[in-house]
Amino acid sequence: MADVFEAREDLNVERDRLYKLIEQTPWLDWLLLTKRPGSVKSLVPWEDEWPRNVWLGTTVEDQKWAKSRLPALLALPAARRFLSCEPLLGPLDLTPWIGKGVKNYPIDWVITGGESGPGARPMLPGWARSLRDQCRAAGVPFHFKQWGHWQPSKEPTLKRGVETFWDSVESRNVFMEAVGKKISGRALDGATWDGLPTSL
DSSP per position, 98-143: SSTT--SSPP-EEEEE---STTPPPPPHHHHHHHHHHHHHHT--EE
Q: Quick check: is 191 in a domain? A: no
Mean pLDDT of the chain: 93
Q: How far is it between the farthest Cα atoms of the chain?
A: 59
Q: Mean pLDDT over residues 91-120, rounded? A: 90
**Predicted pLDDT at 25:** 98
User: For the segment 8-47, what is each residue's pLDDT rounded down to a tens digit?
Assistant: 999 999 999 999 999 999 999 999 999 999 999 999 999 9
DSSP state of 194: B
Q: Which residues contact 13 (CB under 8 A, 6 or more apart)?
A: none
Closest CA to 42 of 77, 5, 70: 5
Which residues are bridge partners to 33 per DSSP?
A: 57
Starting at the earlier edge strand, list the strands of the sheet with 80-85.
30-34, 54-59, 80-85, 109-113, 142-146
Does residue 126 or residue 198 have the better pLDDT? 126
Q: Residue 31: enclosing H or E segment and its boundaries?
A: strand 30-34
User: For the segment 51-71, what is each residue's pLDDT rounded down to a tens digit?
Assistant: 999 999 999 999 999 999 999
**Predicted pLDDT at 157:** 65
Q: Mean pLDDT over residues 95-118, rounded? A: 89
With contact defined as beta carbons under 8 Å apart, do 51 and 80 qualify?
no
Which residues are bridge partners to 58 per DSSP?
A: 34, 83
Closest CA to 200 of 51, 57, 25, 97: 51
- The number of distinct structural domains making up the chain is 1
**Predicted pLDDT at 100:** 74
Domain that holds residue 175: 9-184
Q: Quick check: is 139 in a domain? A: yes
Measured CA to CA, the distance from residue 196 to residue 199 in angstroms comes to: 9
